[in-house]
Amino acid sequence: HSGLSAKLAQEAGFEALWASGLAISATLGVRDNNEASWTQVLDVLEFMSDASDLPILLDGDTGYGNFNNVQRLVRKLEQRNVAGVCLEDKLFPKTYSFIDGETQALAEIDEFCGKLRAAKDAQQDPDFVVIARVEAFIAGCGLQEALLRSSAYVENGADLILMHSKRRDSQDIMA
């Protein structure tokens, strides 16, 4: 979440860094609801990249807008030597996943697939990673929706799937 934390993680022997949207937002004193602009997040990432040579994976929320924003984000991340981005399939502005009692709205599958294709189209570094974070369990949609979304996302360029769940055990993820 900062240049200092990146340097400390490297000195402690970590192999990579997760640039958490929640941690970056909290450090900036704002809520994890896209209140920090994508350019403010880029500023933090630049300090992290300057302070450490560890690969950084950005929690890119929903990509900070539509497919155009995602393309620009990927180009800017690569310029800062960021190793990849994790995009979640919710609506912009995003809602924090662990709010109790609140229904979480998901992006339409086709819309999110367009963001993934845009990210891969903008990618110049063959090692840059685009991860699709599936929020179906968070939204209460269940296993079939999670699998449908995962398959579509891989078909549209996602290098990896991050399955997200509110459960304290691994039941959803293992299924």
Catalytic residue among 32, 59, 61, 89: 32
Q: Give Cα separations from 129 to 10, 142, 144, 147 (angstroms).
A: 21, 26, 26, 21
For residue 87 the two structure tokens come to: 């995009």
Report how far Cα 98 is from the mean position of its chain's Cα atoms. 16
Helix (H, G, I), strand (E, B) or coil at 18: strand
Please identify which residue in the block is written with the tokens 């769940």: 165
Q: Please confirm, yes or no, whether 43 is among the known catalytic residues.
A: no
Cα atoms found within 13 Å of the Cα of residue 143, Cβ hemisphere only: 5
B/e letters for 152-163, b = 16+ CB within 10 Å, e = fewer, are bbeebbbbebbb
- Please report which residue ranges of the chain form alpha helices under DSSP H: 3-11, 21-28, 38-51, 67-79, 109-122, 143-155, 171-174
Active site residue ranges = 32
